[in-house]
């Protein structure tokens, strides 16, 4: 799932389609955007982008979030709280990259006579660990490598999303919240995760934000992006 991304308004080319929309919006470049933060989103028929909070803290009666940080494309038409937003509350999230993590296989250490010294071994020559040591190893999480996904052109791009107004607990006023729509991973992302955010082309952005089109027209743009246009880079976390 997409739980981190980057957005840098200071590096949006003046001729880029997002430049005028982001102009004047008060936010700092964010290279680790995460849920609960205020980030720019583009709304239908709005002259400028607005700042909205990624994911709503409000809960449904069943305890599930009203608007989580990700919404699966497959659930849009079948879960009522998402379906009701589709006709008027679609949005675009401008980004320049997103991140996923993949577990790194630990290297097996060679058991030598020195490492075996003072350690009891079983019949197969494996060290016999204490209960405490086994518990510690069980709790240890395998190391993960962070990867960045962006366009080969290195241009900013838009992710498909939903937005809604909700009550801001700090101010008691209504405020916008958003969620990123995910779909099945393309061949660039699949080795790292089985889902990816819906990346829109410049043409499909227009379709996605056009409230005058039929549902089928804008729903059909929710497809895995062309992997040939994407780049993947291992980065330090």
What is 10-62 written as a DSSP string? GGS-TTSTTHHHHTT-----EEEE-TTSEEEEB-TT-SS-EEEEES---B-TT
R_g over Cα of the chain: 22
Residue 138 pLDDT: 62
Q: What is the C-alpha to C-alpha distance for residues 142 and 78, in angstroms, rounded to an integer?
A: 36
Asked if the model's pLDDT at residue 114 lies above 60, the reply is: no
Q: What is the C-alpha to C-alpha distance for residues 36 and 227, in angstroms, rounded to an integer?
A: 29
Question: How sure is the predictor about 122, in pLDDT bands with cuts at 50, 70 and 90?
Answer: low
Residue 139 pLDDT: 66
What are residue 88's phi and psi, to 5 degrees?
Answer: -130, -15
Higher per-residue confidence, 235 vs 126: 235
Q: Which CATH class is domain 5-102+144-235?
A: alpha beta
pTM metric for this prediction: 0.84
Q: What is the C-alpha to C-alpha distance for residues 155 and 12, in angstroms, rounded to an integer?
A: 8
Q: What is the C-alpha to C-alpha distance for residues 71 and 91, in angstroms, rounded to an integer?
A: 13
Residue 38 pLDDT: 95
35-48 per-position pLDDT tens digit = 999 999 999 989 99
Asked if the model's pLDDT at residue 131 lies above 60, the reply is: yes
3-61 per-position pLDDT tens digit = 899 999 888 999 999 999 999 999 999 999 999 999 999 999 899 999 999 999 888 88
181-208 per-position pLDDT tens digit = 999 999 999 999 999 999 999 999 999 9
58 CA to centre of own chain:
20
Higher per-residue confidence, 33 vs 111: 33
Q: What is the C-alpha to C-alpha distance for residues 56 and 179, in angstroms, rounded to an integer?
A: 8
């Amino acid at each position: 799932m997409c739980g981190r991304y980057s957005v840098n308004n200071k590096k949006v080319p003046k001729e880029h389609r997002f430049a005028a929309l982001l102009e004047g919006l008060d936010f700092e470049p964010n290279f680790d955007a995460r849920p609960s933060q205020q980030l720019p989103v583009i709304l239908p028929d709005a002259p400028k982008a607005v700042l909205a909070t990624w994911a709503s803290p409000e809960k449904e009666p069943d305890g599930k979030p009203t608007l989580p940080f990700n919404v699966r494309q497959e659930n849009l038409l079948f879960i009522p709280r998402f379906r009701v937003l589709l006709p008027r509350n679609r949005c675009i999230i401008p980004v320049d990259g997103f991140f996923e993590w993949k577990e790194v296989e630990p290297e097996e250490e060679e058991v030598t006579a020195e490492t075996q010294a003072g350690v009891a071994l079983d019949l197969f020559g494996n060290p016999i660990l204490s209960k405490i040591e086994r518990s510690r190893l069980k709790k240890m999480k395998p190391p993960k490598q962070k990867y960045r996904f962006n366009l080969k052109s290195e241009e900013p791009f838009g992710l498909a999303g939903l937005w809604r107004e909700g009550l801001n607990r700090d101010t008691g006023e209504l405020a916008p919240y958003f969620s990123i729509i995910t779909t099945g991973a393309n061949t660039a992302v699949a080795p790292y995760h089985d889902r990816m955010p819906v990346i829109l082309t410049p043409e499909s952005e227009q379709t996605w934000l056009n409230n005058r089109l039929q549902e089928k027209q804008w729903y059909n743009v929710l497809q895995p992006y062309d992997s040939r246009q994407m780049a993947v880079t291992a980065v330090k976390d």
